[in-house]
Amino acid sequence: MSETSKAQTAIDTLVNQIDRDIASYLEACVHCGECAEACHFYEATHDPKYTPTYKLFPLVKAYKKHKAPLRWITQIFGAPDEITEEELRDWEELVYDSCTMCGRCTLVCPMGIDIAGTIRKVREGYAAADIVPEGLAQARANVERTSSPMGVTARALLKQVEHQEEDTGLKIPVDVEGADYLALLSSHEIMASPEIIGAYAKIFDRAGVSWTLSTEAYEATNVGVQIGSGPLARQLVQRVVDEAERLGVKYVISPECGHAYGAIRWAGPNLIGRSFKFEVLHILELLDKLRAEGRIPPGERDTRKMTLHDPCQIVRRGGLLKEPRRLLDDACSNFVEMKGAGVTNYCCGGGGGVSANQRAEDLMIGAFGKKLEQIDDLGNIDAVVVPCANCRGVFEDGLFELDRDEIEVVSLGQLVADTLADDPKTAK
Amino acid sequence: MTFLEFTEGPMFYFAAALFVVAGLWRLVGIVRLGKKPDLAPARGSAATGFLKGNLRHFFPRGLFAQRTWMHLLGGYGFHLGLFVLFFFAAPHIAFIEKFTGLSWPALPRWGFIIAAEIAFAGLIVLWVRRFSDPVMRLISDWDDHVGTWLTFIVMLTGCLALQEAHDSLRAIHMLSVNIWLIYFPFSRLMHAFTFFLSRGATGANYGRKGMNP
Ligand code: SF4
Ligand code: SF4
């Protein structure tokens, strides 16, 4: 792509992204700067360039030039310049490295502006012009090859399934047509914590749930959503939809991964332009439902002092606030909440593709420091329950870098499996 | 025709008409951009979310209040003070009555003074922060400053005209009001109306997800 056409492609795509909601946001911003006070990147660095609204500059410029109502009058007094490739490149770091699309800034904004959703639109322009960080470009290349951002193949998945079958002594169903539930996983889970597959097997066996994994659609993460490419995001959702509909499942289970949930549950039908023939449930929603139905009775609770990290895309932007808490109450006898728990919780610092972008690592660790302060305020926490595989990766890196790896990082699904009543009759 | 008659007559009609037409044009222009229907099955109501989003953002969130207290003081002080001055100053009520026949009790003089002081203090705090706070300095543009200054001048000339001792003071106030009205729909002052759309958009999106942040 030539220099001018890159900028032009970005501008055309940006302009196409602007609908009523985005225009309302760009029009309503009063430049008060309050959003900076809620953004972990600003809080960690105190660098004004990390002010959320400032990150939207390329879109603001395109809007004023091409879309703003009354621009034919205001432009009499000076038409805004067209955004240049140089400006796009200058803003690339702000658009990709310093926004996890966590949505915390919206809470403090007097105008209620959804910066996270708007950054997602800005990234569309960047992805179309192929001005993207190397780490995300690599993840995209891996996805094109294997459907997984980490390059995890179906063979690798089957190997892990085999190990888990040996460990649990349970048969793990794969590619079973007519099962009720199709469980998706994230690459991070398959490679770094495959025990979660065994945990699912244990829980579903106890609950009598008919489920399956698929060698066609095992990957839940959606690099298209992170990088900002609608076409790629659509392709990845379509792959899951095709397989789920081929297998004839009633439900698709989104794993403990924040953005994967948003991608399939909230964006999915809009990406492919139609409703699904199945329902999407987050694994925490399903576990909470099974628990409420008495199908997975809790047993002896874990006594470690634990707190809960709220993954932004599952809780604040996903709507699942109570489910993880109910599950944790049953699984842990010493569960304490952080200040600001729930909708106002801090992001881990590595969502929205930031953790896949090596260039952003220092910034990410800095932002994670805010999360750690929140945890430290509770005093002597033994373990943090983190129901998102991506966040868990960030926690592990952050705790290691900050020399705090005495704090354990735990999956909620795993914890539920570990604290199931051995014998339903002895359940509490 | 005296200058006062001009500023209260033809010029005011022109400014008010432009304010209404251009303001509506801008709002309709935003709404007309439309939005694709959301196909994801909803967990809650978008309409309720729209309203909740609007109400929720009128109130600060405790967790952030400590970090943004100066803004909260300035913001609430200015906006509430201005609201009271605008709707409850005796000359304003008389002016509105002249056109609509509607009237309501006015603020006593001491009430006006207090509201004006609070509004001025708030506006000054916000404006000083605009160039002294590194974040606000970075994100502010000339429109922010012009809007602040015009509003300041309108308020100042309004206070000077309060005595109604001199027609010329009243005329200067009306002149600044007219300029303010003409500038308003083309500027960020429109946030007085667009806030409803932006809070509502976020509220509706979250409402569908069963959240109300
Ligand atoms: S969405 Fe989160 S990371 Fe992005 S600007 Fe807002 S607070 Fe910062
Ligand atoms: S808090 Fe909202 S209105 Fe204020 S600068 Fe940030 S985005 Fe704009």
pLDDT in the model for residue A74: 86
Task: List all residues of chain A from 226 to 245 with a beta carbon under 8 Å from chain B.
Answer: none
Rounded distance, CA A312 to CA A100, Å? 9
A352 CB within 6 A, ligand 1: no
**pLDDT over 60 at A428, yes or no:** no
pTM: 0.95
**pLDDT over 90 at A133, yes or no:** yes
Atom of ligand 2 nearest to the CA of A53: 7
Calculate the alpha carbon distances from A38 to A34, A157, A352, B68 in Å: 7, 39, 17, 10
Calculate the alpha carbon distances from B65 to A116, A191, A381, B59, B80 in Å: 21, 42, 27, 10, 18
pLDDT in the model for residue B67: 82
- Residue A24 at interface with chain B, using a CB cutoff of 8 Å: yes
**Residue range A257-277: mean pLDDT, rounded:** 96
Closest residue in A to B206 (Cα) is: A317
Atom of ligand 2 nearest to the CA of A34: 1
Considering CB atoms only, which of A24, A37, A70 is closest to B22? A70
* H or E, element range at A352: none
Name the more confident of A422 and A64. Answer: A64
pLDDT in the model for residue A424: 56
Closest residue in B to A313 (Cα) is: B209
Sign of CA pseudo-dihedral B116, B117, B118, B122 = positive
Q: How confident is the model at residue A425 (pLDDT cuts 50, 70, 90)?
A: low
Regarding an ipTM greater than 0.90, the answer is yes
Closest residue in A to B126 (Cα) is: A32
A32-51 pLDDT tens trace: 999 999 999 999 999 999 99
Q: Give me the percent of chain B exceeding a pLDDT of 90.
A: 85
Sign of CA pseudo-dihedral A419, A420, A426, A428 = positive
Calculate the alpha carbon distances from A77 to A71, A82, A106, B186 in Å: 10, 16, 32, 11
Query: Is the CB of A27 less than 8 angstroms away from the CB of B67?
Result: no
Rounded distance, CA A420 to CA B188, Å? 57
Domains contained in chain B, CATH given:
3-33+42-208 (1.20.950.20)
Please give the distance, rounded to the nearest whole angstrom, from the Cα atom of residue A25 to the centre of ligand 2.
9
pLDDT in the model for residue B6: 96
Domains contained in chain A, CATH given:
3-131 (1.10.1060), 135-290 (3.40.50.1860), 297-418 (3.40.50)
DSSP chain B: --HHHHHHTHHHHHHHHHHHHHHHHHHHHHHTT--PPP-SPPSS-HHHHHHHHHHHTTS--HHHHTTSHHHHHHHHHHHHHHHHHHHH-HHHHHHHHHHH----PPPPHHHHHHHHHHHHHHHHHHHHHHHHSHHHHHH--HHHHHHHHHHHHHHHHHHHHTT---HHHHHHHHHHHHHHHHHGGGSGGGHHHHHHHHHHHHHHHHHHTT---
In tens digits, chain B (213 residues) has pLDDT values of: 899 999 999 999 999 999 999 999 999 999 999 999 999 999 999 999 999 999 999 998 888 888 888 899 999 999 999 999 999 999 999 999 988 999 999 999 899 999 999 999 999 999 999 999 999 999 999 999 999 999 999 999 999 988 766 889 999 999 999 999 999 999 999 999 999 999 999 999 999 999 876
Rounded distance, CA A224 to CA A237, Å? 9
CA geometry: angle A18, A22, A24, nearest 5 deg: 125
